[in-house]
Structure 1
Amino acid sequence: MKFLMIASFLPSVLNFRGKLIEQIHAQGFEIHILAPDLELFENERQKLENLGYKLHKVSMQRTGTNPISDVKTLFEIYKLIQKIKPDYVLSYTIKPVIYGTLAAWLAKVPRRYALITGLGYAFQNVETNNKRSIFQKIVHGLYQQALSHSHKVFFQNPDDLKLFQDLKLIKTNIPAVVVNGSGVNVADFNVLSLPLALDQKIKISFLLIARLLVDKGVREYAEAAKIIKDKYPDVEFNLVGWIDENPSAITQQELDQWVAKKTVKYWGKLTDVRPAIAECSVYVLPSYREGTPRTVLEAMAMGRGIITTDAPGCRETVIDGDNGFLVEVKSVESLVEAMEKFIKQPELIEKMGKRSRNIALTKYDVHQVNKHMMQEMELI
């Protein structure tokens, strides 16, 4: 039996789906992975091939809406699927879900699944504004067509599922399942001691890990950092990430200014985020919307209290006042207020961190999440 995963970014296969395909492989399935730009990720490619998986390159632009290029992508995926002859296909992220699912249907793959990991700029302001741009209408129409040919669609939070249903992007006869994000391997993210200041008290140190996009709340984080540091100069603000090729990316000039003014300590892009999490006492993600934010789960597994937004995907990870605080989307004032609670009541840092670890263990363990998905795909 053959299982094919279609992705738009090879490193995410290892980082976000690695344990899932490992468990599927353990069931005796031959694993195939289809993704673009394999030559750019030699390290990840080698690791996946060493695990016995077969990789296939496809032309696919992660961003951009060139119809000729996208038709070429659809045709290439179709030809590769005909050659591989998989029994199961799972696609995730926008272009693999749309073109991968359509190609799998055209190639008559017996079992076709789609995973909606987040909505991105194709759904920006859709809930607050009844008007949709021409671009959004096209993308939503493509989603509707593709998902109508899937056997089951996985969502990472109930809000995304409801939005797809409200927009009629998923038909009532197509089963939809909400899973607890991508999960986190709690064995790899152990609880580490909180960082200490020179006086041996807990150091107040905030951290944000994200692609440096506007809708990740990076600007709100930097603004809050300026306000807090004016009142509490010893408080630290760390930032991990990179400027992505995305319409909503912040500018290099903005980042350079934050670093020059020592508003944030910039770590750059990390392949292993654990050292950065270990150096923080509170993790912050002011995102406008997520599937289920993996970085939050990793910080929770390492015993850190969380500040995140009361937004789809984010709100599922925090019980307000228990393992952290929920703040208003796009509100610097709300973010500052939550940060000050940790500064004024440092005992919350350890208390909420312990609760985070407990929630990670009981709700987000990657093995439980993957078992749920495999059962729903009838792989076990």
Structure 2
Amino acid sequence: MHIAYLTPEYPHKLSTASGGLGTSIRNMAEALVEKGEKVSVLIYGQESDQNFSESGIQFYHVKQREYPFGGWYFYRKHLEKTINKLIAEKGIDILETPDWTGITAFMKFSVPHVIRLNGSDGYFCELEKRQQKYKNRLFERSALKNADSIVSVSDFTGKKTMEIFDLKRKYKVIPNSIRIDDFQASIIEPVPGRILYFGSLIRKKGVLELAEIFNRVVRDNPEVKLILAGRDVVDIFENISSLELFKNKLSQNAIKRFEYIGSLDYSKVREELEKASLVVLPSFAEALPMTWIEAMAMEKALVTSNIGWAPEVMIDGKTGYMTDPRDHKLYASRILDLLEDSELSKRMGKAARELVVRKFSSKVVAERNIEFYQELIEKKDLN
């Protein structure tokens, strides 16, 4: 079987910047190759057109093109032509694309086309209580309506997406995955009182709530230290750095016990996870967060949010705690409980890794994807 992925991002030195979507595609692509499947990855919006092969995967960079008018339409048609040509020449059997921006609106393909719900613009606008632009809604709804099949990384994301776009389509739930070998359980003792947040510094990730929470933690335990790792994002409402907004909310004592270490590559993230006594991820808007799974795989107890998708990743009281980030007092108390009881933290961390190995390992999830793809191909052949 030859599987092709269309994506705006992929974590590779020759590609433009990538985030969680690109990481999830890479994890799956490499797992599928290990299982003997053929994989091609088409990355659009790139600085140049180029083709290369690496790790058993064939890559196609598609340059971003500029048009005097109607670029949203003509670039899509350019992508459609490029993809269908590759389908014919390379024997591609199935195509998977993301829901983000409805990139496949107005496209038709000669093989089964799957859209994976990782969180569309409409989805995140809904969770953040923002108005979605009409054009974006039109593209995303059209793409979802016309796809041959839909798969969602969480049931919450699937249900919410159908509700937002007023669609009555069935979807298959297959979660994101991680390469377990990349996130082995830590073999070093964590630094006492070291709390880690990693991910983009942005309002929807609960970073501003974390400032208020940390003020309470420091008040009860002045020896703690909070590490923030991730890309600083300009706040959509106040139009200034999210890091500055965060710092402005810290008390005089808290700001002395906080450190921002910037955006890190994968190896550095693992190093920070090893050193952390506890990981805090108070997000308000996710589909199925890679950061949660990565921390769990390294046997770290977490205090996360309790919103929507959370019960599909965490088991409250077993793999960590799920708490509403707006309840600053309770969230802070959960952090303090885990910092003060190292045995509880270790027990939760072990349970967290066991859950990831069983449910979110790329080898396990790859098998589910292969079965799903084969069903769609067989169904297409019968028609």
Q: Is the 8 A contact 2:178 2:294 kept in 1?
A: yes
Quote the residue 1:307 is aligned against.
303
State the match for 2:6 in structure 1: 6
Q: CA deviation at 1:214?
A: 0.4
Tell me the alpha carbon deviations over residues 352-380 of structure 1, each in whole angstroms, 9 at most, x when there is no partner: 11111111111111111121122111189
The match for 1:36 is 45
The amino acid that maps onto 1:243 is D
- Structure 2 counterpart of 1:177, one-letter code: K
Alpha-carbon displacement from aligned partner over 1:167-211 (angstroms, at most 9, x marks no partner): 354433xx411112x1122222111146355xxxxx122111111
- Counterpart check, 1:55 vs 2:60: yes
| 1:177 corresponds to 2:172 | yes
User: Which residue matches 2:73?
Assistant: 71
The Cα of 1:33 is off from its aligned counterpart by: 1.7
Q: Alpha carbons of 1:357 and 1:327: their partners in 2 closer, same or farther (altered >3 Å)? A: same
Q: Among 73, 78, 84, which residue is 2:86 paired with?
A: 84
The offset of 1:58, in angstroms, is: 3.8
Distance in 2, Cα, partners of 1:353 & 1:52: 34
Task: Specify the alignment match of 2:194 in structure 1.
Answer: 205
Shift of residue 39 of structure 1? 5.9
Match of 2:290 among 289, 294, 298: 294
**Number of residue pairs aligned between Structure 1 and Structure 2:** 355
Cα contact 2:225–2:258 (8 A) shared by 1: yes
Q: Which amino acid in the other structure matches residue 304 of structure 2? A: T
| Residues 49, 190 of structure 1: alpha-carbon distance in 2 compared, 3 angstrom cutoff | closer
Partner of 1:118: 119
| Alpha carbons of structure 1 residues 250 and 128: separation in structure 2 relative to 1, 3 Å | closer
Q: 1:312/1:163 Cα in 2 relative to 1: closer, same or farther (>3 Å)?
A: same
SS in structure 1 at match of 2:81: helix
Q: For residue 29 of structure 2, what is the amino acid of its counterpart?
A: I
More displaced stretch, 182-191 vs 262-271: 262-271
Change (3 A) 1:134 1:208: closer
1:147 is matched with 144
Q: Which whole-Å CA distance do the structure 1 matches of 2:82 and 2:347 have between them? A: 52
2:29–2:57 contact (8 Å) kept in structure 1: no
Q: Give the Cα separation in 1 of the matches to 2:41 and 2:124.
A: 33
What is the letter of the counterpart of residue 60 of structure 2? Answer: L
Label 1:30 to 1:253 Cα distance change in 2 as closer, same or farther (>3 A).
Answer: closer
What residue in structure 2 maps to residue 200 of structure 1? none
Letter in 1 for 2:302: I
Other-structure match for 1:133: 131
What amino acid does structure 2 have at the position aligned with 1:33? L
Residues 235 and 241, structure 2, Cα contact 8 Å, conserved in 1: no
State the AA in 2 paired with 1:234: E
Instruction: Assess if the C-alpha contact under 8 Å between 1:287 and 1:314 holds in 2.
Output: no
Question: 1:257-296, CA deviations, whole angstroms, 9 ceiling, x for partnerless residues?
Answer: 6699334222211112100100112111100021111111
Distance in 2 between the 1:319 and 1:207 partners? 20
**Structure 2 residue 364 is the aligned partner of structure 1 residue 371:** no
How far apart in 2 are the matches of 1:250 and 1:179? 35
Residues 236 and 356 of structure 1: is their aligned pair in 2 closer, same or farther, counting only changes over 3 Å? same
Q: Identity rate of aligned residues, in percent?
A: 19
Alignment match of 2:276 (pick from 280, 298, 307): 280
Q: Any unmatched runs of 5+ in structure 1? A: 198-202
Cα offsets for 1:84-109 (capped at 9, x unmatched): 224321112503xx123642x2xx32
Maintained 8 Å contact 1:156/1:292: yes
Q: Which residue of 1 aligns with 2:242?
A: 251
After superposition, the C-alpha distances for 1:325-347 in whole angstroms (9 at most, x for unaligned) are 11114332332121122134332
Q: How does 1:177-196 map to 2 (within 5 A)?
A: 177-180=172-175, 182-193=176-187, 195-196=189-190
Choose 320-329 or 221-230, whichever is displaced more: 221-230
1:203-259 alpha-carbon deviations (Å, 9 max, x no partner): 122111111110001111222222212321211211110024774784353366669
Deviates further, 308-317 or 271-280:
308-317
Return 261-270 or 183-192, whichever deviates more.
Answer: 261-270
CA distance in 1 between counterparts of 2:85 and 2:234 reads: 32
Deviation at 1:38, TM superposition (A): 4.9
**CA RMSD of superposed structures (Å):** 3.2
Partner letter of residue 189 of structure 1? F
CA contact (8 A) 1:323 1:353 kept: yes
User: Cα gap change, 1:123/1:15 in structure 2, threshold over 3 Å: closer, same or farther?
Assistant: closer
CA distance in 2, matches of 1:92, 1:6: 7
Note if contact 2:203-2:242 (Cα within 8 Å) is conserved in structure 1. no
TM-score (norm 1): 0.82
Amino acid at match of 1:232: N
Question: Where in structure 2 are the equivalents of 1:296-335 lying within 5 Å?
Answer: 296-335=292-331
Task: Confirm whether residue 239 of structure 1 aligns to residue 244 of structure 2.
Answer: no
Aligned to 1:16, which of 3, 19, 24?
Answer: 24
CA–CA distance in 2 between the matches of 1:351 and 1:252?
A: 33
SS of structure 1 residue aligned to 2:213: helix
Query: 1:124 and 1:301, CA in 2 relative to 1: closer, same or farther beyond 3 A?
Result: closer
* Cα distance in structure 2, aligned partners of 1:366 and 1:73: 33
Change (3 A) 1:141 1:225: same
Aligned to 2:381: none
After TM superposition, the structure 1 stretch with the greater mean CA deviation from structure 2, 51-60 or 244-253, is 244-253
How far is the alpha carbon of 1:139 from its aligned partner? 3.1
